[in-house]
Amino acid sequence: MKKIIYAIIISLFISCQTNEIVFSDTKSENILVILDSLEKYDDYILGDFNGEFLVSTNAFYKSVGTVTSMPIDSNLIDYHIGYKLLNKGLYKNVGLTFLSVEPKDIFNENYRFSYFDDFIGLFDREEFIYYQKDSSYPNTPFMVINYSDLYETDSTINYSSFNYDKVFTSNNFSFTIESVKIINKAKKGVQVNYSFSCIGYGNSGEIDEIKIMNGKGRSTFEYNP
């Protein structure tokens, strides 16, 4: 992949939600009951994270960023959401980043989508492909999933689907959009429901790979032109 020097225009906002719940050590066979209990939440994530079934509604971080210096007449825009997962008293973090290379003429002076249809069009598709290192940017929207394992020693081991350097297979890498819903609350936005699986690769010298399987989630993003 060509090295690109770029400028990032980024804005951050914290997502705080009342009645937060964080499940841990939950039995995966109760998935339908759990999904029903999560229906009222704007954001949640669940799945088998390295063999442990975890669920969380703690979407503690959201951001939108734009790379404005691309080698072609386009911008790279990304929507990121981070969740905290609690397991045996220790936090794990998982982050999902939705990315897309789009023509510059559909962005406004704030480097955001000028029109709502273009914003929702990023998410309104059947699936996302995973972005892999040493690859060129794909022509369709793509996905990166990161996972951080926090230990009692305050050390952190990070894993990323982006770092996986072997051949992707449909058995191990999938990200399917199950539904897209337009929301009209304080601000207009989109609510995306999805299922996913991937392998995260780290270079800690301890555990090199972890599997994230049977994942399901919901992410809500506001439209801020």
Average pLDDT, the chain: 83
Query: Worst-scoring range by mean pLDDT, 21-25, 61-65, 67-71, 113-117?
Result: 21-25
To the nearest 10°, the Cα dihedral for 211, 55, 193, 134? -30
Query: Worst-scoring range by mean pLDDT, 22-31, 45-54, 152-161, 169-178?
Result: 22-31
Neighbouring residues of 205: CB distance < 8 A, sequence distance ≥ 6 = none
pLDDT of the residue at 152:
53
Type and span of the H or E element at 65: strand 59-67
CA distance 107 to 114: 5
Task: Tell me: pLDDT of 178 over 70.
Answer: yes
Q: Report whether 164 contacts 199 (CB < 8 A).
A: yes
CA distance 148 to 189: 28
DSSP 133-179: TT-PPPSS-EEEEEEEEE-TTS-EEEEEGGG--S---TTT-EEEEEE
Reported as a single tens digit per residue, the pLDDT across 18-63 is: 344 555 555 555 778 888 899 999 999 999 998 888 899 999 999 9
Structure tokens at 217: 């989630």
pLDDT of the residue at 16:
36
Task: Tell me the whole-structure pTM to 2 decimals.
Answer: 0.84
Q: Which residue has the higher pLDDT, 59 or 208?
A: 59
pLDDT of the residue at 209:
87
Overall average pLDDT of the 62-91 stretch: 87
Q: Which residue has the higher pLDDT, 138 or 154?
A: 138
pLDDT band at residue 205 using 50, 70 and 90 as cut-offs: low
